[in-house]
Amino acid sequence: MTTEVNTATSEEFHQRMHASHMYGLWELASQMTQHPLPKMLPYMWPWSLVEPIVRESCDVVPVGNERRALQLFNPGLGGRWASTNTLIAAVQVILPGEVAPAHRHTPTAIRFIMEGSGAYTAVDGERIYMEPGDFILTPSWAWHDHGNDATGRVIWLDGLDIPLVQALEAMFFQPYSERQVPLTKPAAQSARLFGHASLAPAWVKEKPAASPLLIYPWTKTYDALMSLRDSEASPYEGIVLEYTHPQTGGHVMPTMACYTQLIRPGEQLLAHRHTGSSVFYVAQGQGRTIINGIEFVWQRGDVVALPSWVLYEHANTSATEDAILFSISDQPVLEAMSLYREEASEEDGGHQLVTSAFEPVIV
């Protein structure tokens, strides 16, 4: 039969083609998916699992040349240094008297303070002291070191675009010649210059890609959320505020957009999806997020990774307490490439059926 001859010939042809590093489009068509099918899993690192490891790391791991930062790996990404396809979230702890040595790198970093106060990070010669709920920036290639002058441990969430920078083969890292960078600016200078809502210093002509305001204090964030608590806001994200670049009003960093959101007691938001991955941190309260039918029940301290294009909906399950989420996403990158899309759920009433409950993968 001619078909058998053809099959044998075809197999031999394909082997030779692959041996020379060529593949036919006819072999790859299934990768042109109708919509994104992320490899990363929707995943949650509950604080009840993270906290004991953080506590133990304080005894077992000294702050030597590296920071004591626990990197949250997504079990769908095969051991890559990544919480989502583009972002890494980490939990960093620094004890009284410790100094994490100065360095700089092309990945952009943000910090959201989880617990403790009186530690600082120094960014480009300016020292910034931390309080719980503060949001702090470390722009790409800015020198930075951290220290703790206080009496208790200080813990914060790190968010960096390391997987994105790695995919773009644009990683650069340098240690500083001394343990700390000399302070060249008064403490909190960036807040004095740029920390006035809608009033930016007109004599400053330079407009850096990353926000020149290095700290967004919790007190201001919380006041803003509370002043909007009776607004209708977004049916999908609730009372959601973006941390903005004070000179441009745009995203706070070129590769990461950062948000804080209030979900009121008993509020059930509607399901939607968008391109781009994100990580959210539960700063206050308790609730649940249904992600593609999987129910994630969360409370203060939990960290959740959200893949691109999943259908998700948040709810505050407390009848009395507000829920507040902090989040980071790669949305600016999607927008810059004209790849950002969003759509609402077409399911009944904009809500999903719960088909399973999230369980951490312990290997």
- Contacts to ligand GTQ by CB under 6 A: 67, 69, 90, 92, 105, 109, 144, 158, 160
- Report strand pairing: 323-329 vs 135-138: unpaired
Instruction: With CA atoms as reference, report the closest residue to 289 among 224, 248, 236, 211.
Output: 236
CB of 181 to ligand GTQ, least distance (A): 12
Task: Name 250's Cβ contacts closer than 8 Å, sequence gap at least 6.
Answer: 244, 332
Task: Give the Cα separation of 161 and 334 in Å (integer).
Answer: 13
Task: Output 176 or 340, the one with its CB closest to ligand GTQ.
Answer: 176
Instruction: Look at residues 340, 329, 335, 342 and name the one whose alpha carbon lies nearest to residue 243.
Output: 329
Instruction: Please state, as a whole number, how many other Cβ atoms lie within 10 Å of the Cβ of residue 357.
Output: 10
Please return the burial class of 242, using the count of CB atoms within 10 Å of its CB with bins 0-12, 13-18 and 19+.
middle
Q: Quote the least distance from Cβ 146 to ligand GTQ, whole Å.
A: 6
Given the complex with ligand GTQ, which of 132 and 250 has the nearer CB atom?
A: 132
Minimum Å gap between C-beta 200 and ligand GTQ is 27
Residue number, 105 or 273, with CB nearest to ligand GTQ: 105
Question: Is the CB of 182 or the CB of 293 nearer to ligand GTQ?
Answer: 182
| CB closer to ligand GTQ out of 160 and 294 | 160
Ranges assigned E (strand) in 19-85: 43-45, 69-72
- Whichever of 23 and 172 has its CB closer to ligand GTQ, that residue is 172
Q: How far is the CB of 55 from ligand GTQ (least distance, A)?
A: 18
On the 0-12 / 13-18 / 19+ scale of CB atoms within 10 A, 203 is exposed
Tokens of 113: 């303070």
d(CA 307, CA 37): 9
Compute the least distance from the CB of residue 144 to ligand GTQ, in Å.
6
- In the complex, minimum distance from the CB of residue 109 to ligand GTQ, in angstroms, rounded to a whole number: 6
